[in-house]
Amino acid sequence: MEWELRPRLCFLTKGPRGYGFHLHGERNKGGQFIRKVEPGSSAELSGLRAGDRVVEVNGGNVEDETHHQVVYRIRAVEHRTRLLVVDKETDDYLRGHGLACTEDLAVEMGNLSPRPSPFTSPSASPVAQGEVLSPSPSPIHILTKALRHTSASPRRMDTRSPTSSLMIGTKKRVGDVVG
């Protein structure tokens, strides 16, 4: 199956040890990034990956917000959060083709999706069973079609820039703790 470059809409629930990811900002490279995802955590189960850039938190764009503002948005909804994230390759592709990273292009991850299928009952929906839902086919079709006609080669992420770390959960780390 062909790998699709798509943002991910990740639905997380807070567990006994928090959400299970580290958030950090990088100097000279705007935005907030996922540094580490704890094995077996809600973050891992929701599809978050180390290196993902956070685009939205709970439906609000955070691309121009500070680290503390993003943490505040994550804490604003108790016991759950919704993150729109994009990996480096997808981010480069979308920017290179003038496409905005939006929920319309995203694949939904995790088991708290608020968009159940209109064709099934809530108990039989893929969301209730923890499966991934796909958004409407038109943005996916457009993005997939565009992918077939590009020869762009994405670059690897530069990890040499200084960072400030944050653990999203209950463990104490240098920096803020969300949990």
Predicted TM-score (pTM) of the model is 0.65
For residue 54, the surrounding DSSP H or E stretch is strand 53-57
pLDDT tens column, 71-90: 999 999 999 999 999 999 99
What pLDDT was estimated at residue 35? 94
The two structure tokens encoding residue 146: 């565009």
Flag residues of the chain having pLDDT under 50: 1-2, 113-177, 179
Q: Is the dihedral of CA 44, 50, 52, 57 positive or negative?
A: positive
The chain-wide mean pLDDT, for the chain, equals: 72
What pLDDT was estimated at residue 133? 33
Computed over its alpha carbons, how large is the radius of gyration of the chain?
A: 16
What pLDDT was estimated at residue 29? 77
Give CA–CA dist 179/170, Å, rounded: 5
For 8-178, which CATH class?
mainly beta
Nearest-CA neighbor of 17 among 40, 1, 46, 35? 40
Give CA–CA dist 8/108, Å, rounded: 6
The two structure tokens encoding residue 144: 């997939």
- Percent of the chain at pLDDT above 90? 53
What amino acid is encoded at 94 in this protein?
L
Residue 138: count other Cβ atoms within 10 Å of its Cβ: 9
**Structural domain spans, the chain:** 8-178
Measured in Å, how far apart are the chain's first and last C-alpha atoms? 38
**8 A C-beta contact, residue 62 and residue 24:** no
Maximum C-alpha span of the chain: 49
For residue 12, the surrounding DSSP H or E stretch is strand 8-13
